[in-house]
Structure 1
Amino acid sequence: MRLLSGAWKVIVGIKDALVLVFMILFFMLLFMALTASPNPIVVGEGALHVNLDGVIVEQPEPVDPFAVLTGSDSAIREHRLRDVVSGIRAAATDDRVTAVALDLDGFLGGGQSALGEVGDALQEVRDAGKPVIAYATAYGDDAYQLAAHASEVWVNPMGGALVLGPGGNNLYFGDALSNLGVTAHVFRAGTYKSAVEPFSRGSMSPDAREASQALADTLFEAWREDVSRARPDANLDAIIASPADTVEAANGNLATAAREAGMIDRIGSRTEWQARVAEIAGEDSRHGFRRIPLANWIAANPRSGGGSNIGVITVAGTIVDGEAPPGTAGGETIVELLREATENHDFSAIVVRIDSPGGSALASERIREAIRNAAAAEGDIPVIVSMGNLAASGGYWVAMAGDEIVAEPATITGSIGVFSIIPTFEGVLRDLEIGADGVATTPLSGEPDILGGLSPEVERLFQAGTDDIYNRFLTLVSEGRHMPRERIEELAQGRVWAGATARQLGLVDRFGSLDDAILVAAEEAGVEADDVNVIWIEEPVDSFTEFVRNWSREEDTEATAPRDVWTMLRPDPRAILSIMLGEMRLLLDGPAMQARCIECPVDVVPGRGSGDATTRAMLLGWLGG
């Protein structure tokens, strides 16, 4: 009886605890509903506070509402590019906004092409006669690309500005894998398809170096043109050619060196910057100046529309088979989104926004085919492709669904090539003196044999399959770009191009942003610009998540962790480890046949998908099978 009595007390205790938890959650939600602003998107007058703490992305990853409620959401903030651009542009013509306070203290980047769009929006504000006042403790390339469009650039006395430029080292695992007894069987089509080199070599090949250097030079020139056009008095040549001499001439003070080089206008603390903005926007005892938080401003200024629907489907992130959440381009997810959209709406045109390095060749073809099917179902309507930061390999494969391609000069595209990887571990077993033996009934029995190594028959099959998909890729590009196949073969070979070069080569049609692509789509469909109604073809946010997101809309707090110049220069071991583990995971878990551009430069943000928990989980997953 004592045992039963004790067990009953435990059950009652668990029940009481669960009731208590649910009651606490209920009253929390009730309190949130009662104390929330009756209209959270009402904004007043003041300076638009463009606080870009975090990163700018094409498609943010999903928000975990429970993590937000419990305060355990430590993910780096992601700002949707189109929201940032539209919000800043709306400020140019709205009398409620007296200035733009561009807060870059916690900004971690966003890609050169995307930042060009944000910079253009900032320029519109300046052209409208409104000041744009930027502040950061330290400016790197991305932050300064935006700050250059400001009418006043402020920097912390203990900060500065340096131009790093694209470039750096990649990891090559060929020798390490060989020493471990792992053989990476790589099959590729395309002379410049250097994605497989990290697994087969100990260093960069001459062909890959040639292509990468050309790409880096083109991107850097585009960056310099953008910055010089926005800030013509900045002496970029001096600080790029010999940064140490420039800083030493200023007695080691980076902030003074940046000012003397014309890169910044004022040296001052955040409080002094706030006081400067308050001179224009008015004072506020809590925030220093009267401000309009960017998130509230975006919510208060939804995009207006006309009567003709133009659908925009986004292909962002690595292209994978099956379903995937926003931020990753799941083939079946995008196919289903397009199917539902065409069932529920009548479209005059479709715009495909791509920001992807590619991935699965099969999923890339599934998406391309679904786009063409959607256009046919709507009566053969125009399809316009808009390229963001990156539309390479599988991303370019998807672009072949378009009738016209719009890209930015700094877009990274091309990489028309295919590769496959099969790791085998016969060397590991040999070193451990473990044998692998068996019987076969056909040349393919037990193949691919990751224990004993691939047979010549299997190697021939994989190379033939790789060549076949590459030939399909070439045919798609030849037909999509209306160019002879021989010419496409010259431009392909896995080589990566900047948008500026790609346009000269005929791989894209014109320069422009997403908004420009929408206007092109309207023109091709015979729709007047003011009659366009943009429908974003994306997964809807459930009501609970939307409620939490609205309730937790940022209080417009300051950047939590401003970085000085030296922190900016210091490499983050977590980011480097994340790259290494990601590439090894591609070798072990990725699809065997890929149209992916690993060599394309992609911003790695410390803490975004590269934190300690993620790293531990990946390691434990491999070690535990």
Structure 2
Amino acid sequence: MKEFLKYTLASVVGNLLGLFLVITFGMGGIAFLVVVSASRGTQTTLRDKSVLVLDLSVGIADTAPQPTPSIAIGQTLRDDRSRFLPLRVVLETIERASKDDKIVGLYLEGGSGTTPTGFGNLKEVRRALEGFKESGKTIIAYDTDWTEREYYLGSVADEIIIHPMGTVEMSGFSSQTVFLAGALERFGIGVQVTRVGQYKSAVEPFLRQEMSPENRQQMQQLLGDLWGEFTGAIASSRSLTTAQLQQIVNQDGFLMAADAKDREMVDQIAHRDEVAAQLRELTGEKEEGRQPFRRVGIQEYSRTPEVKGSWAGNPNSRNIIAVVYADGEIVDGRGGIGQVGGDRFSEELRRLRDNDRVKGIVLRVNSPGGSATASEVIAREVQLTREEKPIIVSMGNAAASGGYWIAMGSDRILAEPTTVTGSIGVFGLLFNAQDIANQNGITWDGVKTGPFADLNSISRPKTDQELEKVQQMVDLIYQRFVSSVAQLRDLPQEEVLEMSQGRVWSGVQAEALGLVDQLGGLQDAIAAVAEKAELGDDWKLAEYPRIPSFEERLLESLRTESTPTDPLTSELLKLYHEFSVLRHLNDPRGIYTRLPFNLQID
């Protein structure tokens, strides 16, 4: 709760400070902050024998969340670094560092809490770390308490070190769903659903108080696939067997430092200052200076003259490969930050299609889906783009339901083994507030000129005849979804029907079923576009949608979510998030192609 109050107070102070600057100094006050912000982007000088540092507690996302103006002001004044790093910057800087003579090693530095990075992105970063290690340079990893996600990356290291009081978590994966049916009934909120697909469990939280057998089956298999990738990668790096890891899971769950060393999960037990001394030896320093050792962070390294611009291809080329991020819930209309607005995203694709300098497009999809209407609008633009220039999809942490809908019309689909995909199914969700309104003395009455004129009203439950009409629309959209998959993926419709039913699959399963073409990451997709467009090395990257500048974020009121670390506030915010998803359900017909409700894997 202390963290919650801290973030709340920071937001209030930031708002007051912003108002004070605008009133007192006008645009001059804002200009001052813009200058301060710009000064943070200055180049970093790289010294010889430096160690590249990756903070394991920092999230790695396709597109970093954009803060509100108040938080942006606070971050600028206290020079606070973002708690998220762009995935492509991390991948490219690690690859560049592996070839840089000034970089002698890489340090994976653990922090408090667990990384919020999704499993798809973790797989890509781990692959980059393996490439760094293959270059012959040293990777050292240190943490006090190794969480599973951090250990997944740390296990690549030549040496894993743990604090004497530390632990290694190896307890397995779990996924819980919050069921709202009891609360909705208690509050007098009615819910009616229509759906196609026995595995389309997105509606279950509104109807049930526990998982259906079908949902339990698909989730168990999905977690099993992710867990198999996780343990297989760790076992290979640590010269262990998956059976040994599973024994730890079944008997212990957590290992104290000494036991972790005995089980060969870590190589050394040491304090942080002792690790710093070891890194100073690696960099050739005799004694501790202003920093514990000669280090350069990922962000700082990406701004050095040696690196800046080099990871974006050939800066002198006029040929552009566009990386377009479909990151977030798919919503009807233009959408906002953290959402994929059907209209806005389609306009972006049209502009890139009409731009002669853009020779190919990588569509990076990290979305649970959402509005069926918006998904179809975007999917149409993808198919039109394919007729004129290469467009290849790279799937991130999740590309399911509507996220898969917008991907299936591309030239090629790449996914990670841990990507959650599929969920080819449709549902309709219809709320009414009749009971709660009546309980508080509110009633409705009216007239209409047709039996379905008030179909979208929340004042009453839908009649059987109305539900039948909605079900017909759901069935029609599902049939279109299935037939489109069959046509665009060149699969027999009977096979698509069998693998559909709203079921989610891992990337490994999706490749076997023909839903994706190959396993690979963002870098592989970029290389595939360059090859298909026959560009050779004559290309440079550009990313879309454009990230708003500091001053734009300062002048616009944008939504953000802080991530406090205390358990009580975290759980309350999880519950808030479950309800907040309802605000994104804005399809004009109330019909959705979306993942099981707010999938969370711990």
Provide the TM-score with structure 1 as the length reference: 0.82
Are 1:322 and 2:333 counterparts?
yes
Match of 1:576 in 2: 574
Contact 2:324 2:361 in 1 (8 A): yes
Structure 2 match to 1:398: 406
Larger CA Rg, structure 1 vs 2: 1
User: In the alignment, what sits opposite 1:611?
Assistant: none
Offset of residue 588 of structure 1:
9.3
On the 8 A contact 2:146/2:168 being kept in 1, the answer is: yes
Aligned to 2:109: 103
Letter in structure 1 aligned against 2:133? R
CA distance in 2, matches of 1:500, 1:139: 27
CA distance in 2, matches of 1:536, 1:280: 37
Cα distance in 2, alignment partners of residues 219 and 346 from structure 1 = 40
Shift in CA distance, 432/589, structure 1 to aligned 2, threshold 3 Å:
farther
Which position in structure 1 is the counterpart of 2:59?
A: 55
| Aligned-partner Cα distance in 2 for 1:418–1:37 | 47
**Partners of 2:282 and 2:119 in 1: CA distance:** 31
Q: 1:67 aligns with which of 43, 55, 71?
A: 71
Counterparts in 2 of 1:39 and 1:112: CA distance versus 1, 3 Å = closer
2:148 maps to 141
Counterparts of 1:541 and 1:480, CA distance in 2: 35
Which of residues 29, 44, 63 is equivalent to 2:47? 44
Instruction: Give the secondary-structure state (helix, strand or coil) at the position aligned to 2:115.
Output: strand
In the alignment, does 2:159 pair up with 1:152?
A: yes
The 5-angstrom pairing of residues 602-617 of structure 1 reads 602=600
Q: Taking structure 1 as reference, are residues 215 and 465 closer, same or farther at Cα in structure 2, changes over 3 Å only? A: same
SS at 1:572 equivalent: helix
Q: Closer, same or farther in 2 for the Cα pair 1:369/1:146, shift >3 Å?
A: same
Q: 1:429 to 1:65 in 2, by over 3 A?
A: closer
Q: Distance in 1 between matches of 2:57 and 2:175?
A: 25
Match of residue 237, structure 1, among 246, 252, 255: 246
Q: Which of 497, 507, 512 matches 1:499?
A: 507
Distance change in 2, residues 1:572/1:256 (3 Å): farther
Aligned-pair CA distance for 1:63: 4.3
**Shift in CA distance, 199/583, structure 1 to aligned 2, threshold 3 Å:** farther
Q: Which amino acid aligns with 1:399?
A: A
CA change 1:20–1:170 in 2 (3 A) is: closer
> Is 1:84 matched with 2:82?
no
Q: Which amino acid in 1 is paired with 2:87?
A: L
Kindly indicate whether residue 462 of structure 2 is the aligned counterpart of residue 454 of structure 1.
yes
Structure 2 vs 1, CA of residues 345 and 16 (structure 1 numbering), >3 Å: closer, same or farther?
closer
What is the SS of the residue equivalent to 1:482? coil
Secondary structure of the equivalent of 1:192?
coil
Mapped to 2, the partners of 1:280 and 1:472 lie a distance apart of: 60
User: Which of the numbers 234, 256, 259 marks the counterpart of 1:257?
Assistant: 259
In structure 1, the partner of 2:525 is 517
The 3 A distance-change label for structure 1 pair 240 and 181 is: same
Residue among 283, 289, 295 paired with 1:291: 295
Aligned 1:364-443 pairs, distance under 5 A: 364-376=375-387, 380-429=388-437, 431-432=439-440, 435-443=443-451
Tell me which of 274, 277, 295 is aligned to 2:276: 274
For the residues of structure 1 that align with 2:549 and 2:393, how far apart are their CA atoms? 29
Name the structure 2 match of 1:310: 321
Query: Which stretches in structure 2 are left out of the alignment for 5+ residues?
Result: 1-18, 556-562
Cα pair distance change 1:371/1:42, threshold 3 Å: farther
Q: 1:192: Cα distance to partner?
A: 0.6
1:536 is aligned to 2:551: no
Q: Deviations over 1:269-305 (max 9, x none)?
A: 2222212111102445222000112112112323232
Q: Which amino acid in structure 2 is aligned with residue 319 of structure 1? A: I
CA distance in 2, matches of 1:489, 1:17: 59
Instruction: Tell me which residue corresponds to 1:337.
Output: 348
CA-CA distance at 1:407 after TM superposition? 1.0
Contact kept? 1:171, 1:198, Cα under 8 Å: yes
Among candidates 358, 363, 374, match of residue 369 of structure 2: 358
Q: Deviations over 1:354-384 (max 9, x none)?
A: 11111111111121222222343xxx32221
Change (3 A) 1:165 1:483: same
Aligned mates of 1:261, 1:572 — CA distance in 2:
33
Q: Please, which runs of 5 or more residues in structure 1 have no aligned partner?
A: 1-13, 248-253, 549-559, 605-625
Aligned residue number for residue 223 of structure 1: 230
Write the deviation string for residues 450-494 of structure 1: whole angstroms up to 9, x where unpaired. Answer: 223212221111111111111111121111111121211111110
3-state DSSP of counterpart to 1:523: helix
2:352 is paired with a residue whose SS is helix
2:170 matched residue in structure 1: 163
> Residue 399 of structure 1 aligns to a residue in which SS?
coil
Opposite residue 47 of structure 2, the aligned amino acid is G
Distance in 2 (alpha carbons) for counterparts of 1:274 and 1:447: 67
Shift of the 531–174 alpha-carbon distance from structure 1 to 2, 3 Å rule, reads same
On the 8 A contact 1:60/1:326 being kept in 2, the answer is no
CA separation in 1, counterparts of 2:21 and 2:359? 58
More deviation in 587-596 or 261-270? 587-596
- How well do the aligned residues superpose, as a CA RMSD in angstroms? 3.2
The verdict on how the C-alpha distance between 1:38 and 1:439 changes in structure 2, with shifts beyond 3 A counting, is: closer
Tell me, yes or no, if the aligned pair for 2:331 and 2:586 is still in contact at 8 Å. Answer: no
Cα pair distance change 1:504/1:19, threshold 3 Å: closer
2:198 maps to what in 1? 191
- Alpha-carbon distance in 1 for matches of 2:492, 2:589: 31
Q: State the 1:169 CA deviation.
A: 2.3
Which one-letter code corresponds to 1:461 in the other structure?
Answer: K
* In structure 2, C-alpha distance between the alignment counterparts of 1:387 and 1:272, rounded to whole Å: 41
- AA of the residue aligned to 1:271: D
Tell whether 2:345 aligns with 1:347. Answer: no
2:72, 2:550 within 8 Å by CA — same for their partners in 1? no
Aligned to 1:617: none
State the Cα deviation string for residues 295-339 of structure 1 (Å, max 9, x = none). 121123232325643222111111112223453212222222223
- Distance in 2 between the 1:344 and 1:477 partners? 29
Change (3 A) 1:158 1:468: same
Once the two structures are TM-superposed, the CA of residue 27 in structure 1 deviates from its matched residue by 6.2
> What's the CA shift string for 1:554-610, capped at 9, x where partnerless?
xxxxxx99x8xxx89x99323432343235546799971111103463469xxxxxx
> 1:255 & 1:30 partners in 2: Cα distance?
47
Q: Give the aligned residue type for 1:472.
A: R
Please, which moves more after superposition, 513-522 or 460-469?
513-522
Aligned residue number for residue 9 of structure 2 = none
